[in-house]
Amino acid sequence: MNAGEKGAGEKKEAMTGVTTAEQWWDRFFRHGPYVLLGLATVVSAVTSGLIMSRADVYAAAVLFPAALTLQLLWSRSPAPQGSRAAQRHFVVRTLLAFGLTWCNPFFSMYTVLGYFDAGRLLPQRRMRAGLLATAVIMAGSQSGSGLPPTSLMNWVVFAVLLAVHGGLTMVFAQIGNREAEQARTQTDTITALESANARLEQALAENAGLHAQLLLQAREAGVADERSRLAAEIHDTIAQGLTGIIAQLQAVTSTAQTDPALAGEHLARAAALARHSLGEARRSVHDLLPAALEHDDLPGALKKTVTIWSQRTGVRAEFTVTGTAEPLHDEVGATLLRIAEEALANAARHAAASRAGVTLSYMGDEISLDVRDDGRGFDPAVLPPYRGAGGFGLGGMRARAERIAGTVEVETGPGLGTAVCARVPMVRQG
């Protein structure tokens, strides 16, 4: 058994013990008065011929049914502690017990009830008075001659017994105070638990509302993210493919009369670009890997991409790998390939470059992609501010990198060429 199970078991045993004690006391206060009154009556009847006069017998015959009736009425409708009804019940019962004990000292067995329920019936400020009255009756019954004492010796014994019973009253008063304190503590604990439960229910209701709101926001964010992804894929595949097709068809138009063979090459390239763009569009819709990564790793796919781009644009381009190549997660490879394609497309469209270079660097926990050209460059200050999502070109590259916790930086200036650097975490193929 571990410590938690042991502690839970001890707590359960303690609670069970408290419950059993309360049940025992409830049974005592429900049935005990009848038992003690009946026992005192039997003993008093047996000894009536020795210590009771005829008047005492008659008085006891009247007081006994009165005490029994009082207890029956109380059992039917008990009142809460400290109420006027509870105080009246205690006072009347104490007077009846005093009268019965005056008739026969053995009725003190009934009087002793005052020690046990003074704390249950009387308010705390009057509990000691009730206990003292019980102590006087008990001391008188045990002094040998009943109440009042008939001799000096009986008075001395009465005083000694009263002192003893006075000590008992202090003990019972302390017990009563402790029970009252426990009752207050239990009430405060119950109140605190009810308040905590109310706060918990309120918090659960608020959490349910927030959960529903978060689900709605997550759906909206998912829709927006998917729209952004599809827009970027269309821009990077269909739009660039169409641009390339248009360029090849324009070349066909310009060379059809002078060089039919070259025009045929441009026409074949246009058809190949059309087929490739159609395949990429289908893959984008189904969120599949780019075709270049189906049969090659990232370095191989980038090398083919750079070679095809160089052949199509006529710009001399080189591809370099540094570090030890490792298998990458599909999303990382697709992101870097798309960033390279976009950077090369921008270089072909805007830079008027004569030379370009692509470098893929494996650097431990990070992988870097650098695309450089010696074109005309541009002034970064004239670009619209990047808003973190959506858009194409440089903004689209940054958005792609940020989806996998990466970054894209651009270094350029008028006449200085352009360098695009993408850095993403190294997430290996699982």
> pLDDT: is 252 or 404 the higher one?
404
Within a domain: 265? no
Mean pLDDT of 125-137: 79
pLDDT tens, 167-180?
A: 666 666 666 567 66
CA 23 to CA 428: how far, in whole Å?
Answer: 68
pLDDT band at 135 (very low <50, low <70, confident <90, very high): confident
pLDDT at 280: 65
Mean pLDDT of 250-254: 74
> pLDDT: is 2 or 330 the higher one?
330
Domain boundary among 172, 199, 226: 199
Within a domain: 275? no
| Total domain count, the chain | 2
Mean pLDDT of 281-300: 70
State whether 53 and 194 are in the same domain.
Answer: yes
User: Is-contact 123 84, C-beta < 8 A?
Assistant: no
pLDDT tens, 61-111?
A: 899 999 899 989 988 888 887 788 888 988 998 899 888 888 888 887 888
Give yes or no for residue 296 having a pLDDT over 90: no
Question: What range defines the domain where residue 54 resides?
Answer: 18-199
CA 106 to CA 56: how far, in whole Å?
Answer: 13
CA 108 to CA 396: how far, in whole Å?
Answer: 99
Helix, strand, coil in percent for the chain, rounding step 5:
70, 10, 20
Within a domain: 266? no
State whether 59 and 174 are in the same domain.
Answer: yes
pTM for the structure as a whole = 0.41
Candidate from 165-179, 189-203, 343-357, 415-429 with smallest mean pLDDT: 165-179
Q: Which CATH number is 309's domain given?
A: 3.30.565.10
Candidate from 129-133, 300-304, 388-392, 414-418 with smallest mean pLDDT: 388-392
CA 6 to CA 160: how far, in whole Å?
Answer: 50
Within a domain: 305? yes
State whether 193 and 52 are in the same domain.
Answer: yes
pLDDT tens, 351-404?
A: 889 999 999 999 988 999 999 999 999 888 776 554 444 445 788 888 888 888
pLDDT at 173: 60
State whether 141 and 23 are in the same domain.
Answer: yes
pLDDT at 30: 83
User: Is-contact 305 341, C-beta < 8 A?
Assistant: yes
How far is Cα of residue 46 from the mean position of the Cα atoms in its chain? 71
CA 218 to CA 106: how far, in whole Å?
Answer: 83
Closest CA to 339 of 244, 236, 429, 242: 236
Domain boundary among 181, 199, 217: 199
Give yes or no for residue 430 having a pLDDT over 70: no
